[in-house]
Structure 1
Amino acid sequence: MSTPSESNPESGRSQFGAPTKDPWKGFRGIASGTLILEVIVVLLTIPVVQVVGDGLNWFSGTYILGLAVLMILGCGIQGRPWAMKYNIALQVLLILGFFVHYSIGIMGIVFALVWAYLVYLRKDIARRMDEGLLPGQRD
């Protein structure tokens, strides 16, 4: 049977007291910062696609700019329970960028590894909170 924090790690319900500092606030900041970094890198693919590829056309330009806009919008939803699913969906779209240009797909794989690590960190924070191992939870 899953604990409440496994279904929603940010619920913070455990047998231990809440930590003095909110660990989810810091995690949301890391997720938003990663998305902003990703926006910068995605926008830097425009000159690469223009020069190295077959040139920038309406589809590739719209795809790149659309991803950038979705990532910027994603920065504002990191407090929602479905935010991590949204972030992972963005990585799938970025990997599918292989069909636009291989450099976009490679970048998608690199950032997918970063987001895989962030998913691991999110689960680790929830586990440590449930076990009362976070600073401020100890007596």
Structure 2
Amino acid sequence: MRRIGGSKKDKKDEPIEYGPLGPGHAPAKDPMKGVRGVQAGTLIMEAITVFLVLTVILRIDEGHYWTTLNQVYVGVVGGAHVLLAFLQRFSWGLWVAVGLQVFVLLGGLIVHASMGIVGIIFVLVWWYLLHLRSNLIERMKRGLLTTQHM
């Protein structure tokens, strides 16, 4: 791999290591579009899982947790997930979806522990999606995608 010049004063000025074919050009197909599709699909799956919490609170302890507050809370959080699935094309959509995980986790305290468990699982899923996204962006910067050299 070859290094491209630059000073090492700070991270901005640090040289980028390019692949053996160089930096290449912009990818023929936008790989971030696929990432946004995965994020939207994850939000839909999470919405389904959050809505399933309604059946849990109805059945547990003979409906003790079946209150208007709990029903509305779960409904609003689940509905927000569905809405955000269609808004992932905007740059702020990802960060709102990540912030929405806080409300799912809070549901473990407000509604029932099962919603908190769902929140923990999906926090891990979103952490992994952000990791994959940053890896893809780094690979694009270095010119390591196949479609950058076609």
Bin for the TM-score computed over the shorter chain: 0.7 to 0.9
Partner of 2:78: 68
Q: Please say if 1:96 is aligned against 2:106.
A: yes
Q: Give TM-score, length-normalised by structure 2.
A: 0.80
The 2-side partners of 1:2 and 1:105 are apart by: 39
2:46 maps to 38
Q: Which range is displaced more, 98-107 or 16-25?
A: 16-25
Q: Structure 1 residues 123, 2: closer, same or farther in 2, change over 3 A?
A: farther
Residue equivalent to 1:130 = 141
Tell me which residue corresponds to 2:120.
Answer: 109
Which ranges of 4 or more aligned residues in structure 1 deviate by more than 6 Å?
none
Identity %: 38
Q: Distance in 2 between matches of 1:2 and 1:84?
A: 24
- Residue 118 of structure 1: aligned partner: 129
How far is 1:121 from its partner?
0.8
Deviates more, 1:54-63 or 1:100-109: 54-63
Shift in alpha-carbon separation, 1:26–1:47, aligned structure 2, 3 A:
same
Gaps of at least 5 residues in structure 2 are 1-10, 14-22
For normalisation by structure 1, the TM-score amounts to 0.86
Aligned-pair CA distance for 1:2: 4.6
| Structure 1, unpaired ranges of 5+ | 4-14
Residue 91 of structure 1 contacts residue 112 of structure 1 at CA under 8 Å; is this kept in 2? yes
Match of 1:83 in 2: 93
CA gap of 1:120–1:2, structure 2 versus 1, over 3 A, is farther
